[in-house]
Amino acid sequence: MPDSKLKLIQGNLLIDGKSTNPIEKGAVLIKNNTILEIGSPEIITPSDKNSFEIFDFSDKTILPGLVDCHVHLNGFGDGRTGDDLALLPDEILTLQSAKNARESLLSGVTTARDCGAKNLTTFMLRKAINQGITIGPRLILSGRAIAIIGGHLSYFGEEVTGNDECRAAVRQLIKEGSDFIKITATGGSTATSYPWRPSFTTEEIRTICEEAHKFGKLVSAHCVSSEGISNSLDGGVDQIIHCLFREPDGSPKYRPDLTQKIIDKNIFVNATIHQGLESLNNLILYQNNTKEEKNAIKKLQEEHSVRLEHCLRMKDAGVKFVCGSDASWQQYKLGQFYKEIVAHTTIGLSPIESIISATLDSAIACGVDDQVGSIEKGKKADLIIVNGNPLNNIENIKNVDTVFLDGIAVN
Ligand SMILES: [Zn+2]
């Protein structure tokens, strides 16, 4: 078939990622890598029968390619710590990233935003994908996350102090190919960091945001405590990741004032709901848990129920959630984005809202909604075909049959 031939993709149901109403018996007409028309096949089928090729998925559902706004391509998802991961040579991490990118794409993720990787590893992976050496989703890359000395993810290679170094780090990352800036506004699992304490000063965050925004780049902030959320909001970040309301002593305390500030600033929260649950499920799977493991199970269960409660309250207040897996961090392997989409239905999102949070809203949060995230005329032909109807059962989102990236079936 010549590349220029049109493709007519027919489904039983078409979910466009934008509207809450699916199109029954919907179809998509593609020219090269672009969506030409969507609608019922009677209307959009070209009159010249030789000008197009039919892809008949009339017992399946067509959706936009999924947009995972939070991945760590360097990761293994086998429970090892980031501190251990960062000891591996860049060459190994780049190869692991290639493996993850491939699995992610084949599972239906056609756009993935990497939120922190070592040195140049993800930039090199993108070069390899662009040269056709390997396959992967469209990548939106931060490169190294910006951290304070000893802060979360500082082992990836970007530790800064003070406004000048913050500004320099942004400029350096953009020079190397960063599409957005990731900062760790609090500590995290990194051994030398303090999870319940803020890392940067508000002034430093403001400098990073000003410099990034000057070049049209968005800033996302890892925040696992309330002070870090507060500083990030005051500093002007565009997205809060994790968004845990924790006091400096680690105790949970819901903060309606910060929730209201998030709503007023109209920014997305990437809640990473499934991450802890994956660790919990893995522990429960083992037989004969040790005493330490039993304690860990209890702690994870308590953390998860607080998490759900806080997310439900944020959702009720009007916070916009965007789906990003945080895989392959800790135990959560890439290629299972559906688990985070399913988890969003446990904090009050309907199946269609969860799908939108993993497609168009995620694309908006990543600043790429002019190109991807929904099935719309003029956008890139990134589509997935799934068996069953995910609106009846959201778990069906994992039953991926075919993935189209740039109009080409990759599996
Ligand atoms: Zn992360």
Q: How far is the CA of 331 from the centre of ligand 1 (A)?
A: 12
The amino acid present at 129, given as its one-letter code, is I
Q: How far is the CA of 272 from the centre of ligand 1 (A)?
A: 8
* Domain end (from 336, 354, 387): 336
> If phi over 0 gives left and psi between -120 and 50 gives alpha, with beta otherwise, what is residue 388?
left
| H helices present in 236-336, as ranges | 256-265, 274-285, 291-317
Min mean pLDDT across 96-110, 285-299, 343-357, 378-392 is at 285-299
Q: How far is the CA of 116 from the centre of ligand 1 (A)?
A: 7
Same domain, 22 and 88: no
Q: Determine how β-strand 27-31 pairs with β-strand 52-64.
A: unpaired
Q: How far is the CA of 326 from the centre of ligand 1 (A)?
A: 5
Q: How far is the CA of 16 from the centre of ligand 1 (A)?
A: 28
What is the per-residue pLDDT for 123? 98
Q: How far is the CA of 21 from the centre of ligand 1 (A)?
A: 32
393 in any annotated domain? yes
171 in any annotated domain? yes
Q: Is 50 exceeded by the pLDDT of residue 1?
A: no
pLDDT tens string 95-137: 999 999 999 999 999 999 999 999 999 999 999 999 999 999 9
Q: Cα separations (Å) of 138 from 65, 80, 236?
A: 10, 27, 27
pLDDT tens string 231-281: 999 999 999 999 999 999 999 999 999 999 999 999 999 999 999 999 888
Q: What is the DSSP track for 12-70?
A: EEE--SS-SSPEET-EEEEETTEEEEEE-HHHHS-S-GGGEEEEEEEEEEEEEPEEEEE
Q: How far is the CA of 71 from the centre of ligand 1 (A)?
A: 6
139 in any annotated domain? yes
- Give the position of tokens 């970040």: 237
Instruction: With CA atoms as reference, report the closest residue to 343 among 407, 278, 294, 292.
Output: 278
Q: Is 90 exceeded by the pLDDT of residue 21?
A: yes
> What is the spatial distance between Cα 208 and Cα 391, in angstroms, rounded to a whole number?
40
> What is the spatial distance between Cα 266 and Cα 368, in angstroms, rounded to a whole number?
17
Q: Please report how the helices 256-265 and 291-317 are oriented relative to each other, as an axis angle in degrees rounded to 10.
A: 50
For residue 283, name the pLDDT band (cuts at 50, 70, 90).
Answer: confident
Same domain, 55 and 77: no
Task: Supply the CATH number for residue 224's domain.
Answer: 3.20.20.140
365 in any annotated domain? no
Report every protein residue that has its C-beta within 5 angstroms of ion ligand 1: 115, 326
402 in any annotated domain? yes
Same domain, 96 and 109: yes
What is the per-residue pLDDT for 337? 98
Q: How far is the CA of 287 from the centre of ligand 1 (A)?
A: 29
Min mean pLDDT across 117-121, 280-284, 360-364 is at 280-284
Same domain, 154 and 276: yes
125 in any annotated domain? yes
Same domain, 256 and 293: yes
> What is the spatial distance between Cα 315 and Cα 313, in angstroms, rounded to a whole number?
5
Same domain, 70 and 60: no
Q: How far is the CA of 221 from the centre of ligand 1 (A)?
A: 10
Q: How far is the CA of 14 from the centre of ligand 1 (A)?
A: 31
Q: What is the mean pLDDT of the chain?
A: 96
What is the per-residue pLDDT for 5? 85
For residue 285, name the pLDDT band (cuts at 50, 70, 90).
Answer: confident
* Domain end (from 309, 336, 363): 336
Q: Is 60 exceeded by the pLDDT of residue 3?
A: no
For residue 24, name the pLDDT band (cuts at 50, 70, 90).
Answer: very high
Sequence-separated (6 or more) residues with CB below 8 Å from residue 251: none
Instruction: With CA atoms as reference, report the closest residue to 33 among 409, 368, 405.
Output: 405
Min mean pLDDT across 1-5, 155-159, 378-382, 386-390 is at 1-5
Same domain, 147 and 170: yes
Q: How far is the CA of 55 from the centre of ligand 1 (A)?
A: 37
Same domain, 78 and 170: yes
Same domain, 170 and 316: yes
> What is the spatial distance between Cα 363 and Cα 347, in angstroms, rounded to a whole number?
21
Same domain, 311 and 387: no
H or E segment and range at residue 190? none
244 in any annotated domain? yes
Same domain, 59 and 74: no
> What is the spatial distance between Cα 268 and Cα 274, in angstroms, rounded to a whole number?
17
Q: How far is the CA of 97 from the centre of ligand 1 (A)?
A: 15
Q: How far is the CA of 56 from the centre of ligand 1 (A)?
A: 38
Domain around 220: 66-336
> What is the spatial distance between Cα 274 and Cα 9, in angstroms, rounded to a whole number?
33
144 in any annotated domain? yes
Task: Supply the CATH number for residue 33's domain.
Answer: 2.30.40.10
Report percent pLDDT > 90 for the chain.
92
Structurally, the chain folds into a number of domains equal to: 2
In 3-state terms the chain splits into helix, strand, coil percentages (rounded to 5) of: 40, 20, 40
Using DSSP's 3-state secondary structure scheme, residue 116 falls into coil
Q: How far is the CA of 403 from the centre of ligand 1 (A)?
A: 25
Same domain, 84 and 38: no
For residue 2, name the pLDDT band (cuts at 50, 70, 90).
Answer: very low
* Strands laid side by side in the 181-184 sheet: 181-184, 219-223, 239-242, 268-270, 320-321
pTM: 0.97
pLDDT tens string 163-218: 999 999 999 999 999 999 999 999 999 999 999 999 999 999 999 999 999 999 99
Please answer whether residues 222 and 186 qualify as being in contact, where contact means their C-beta atoms are separated by less than 8 angstroms. Answer: yes
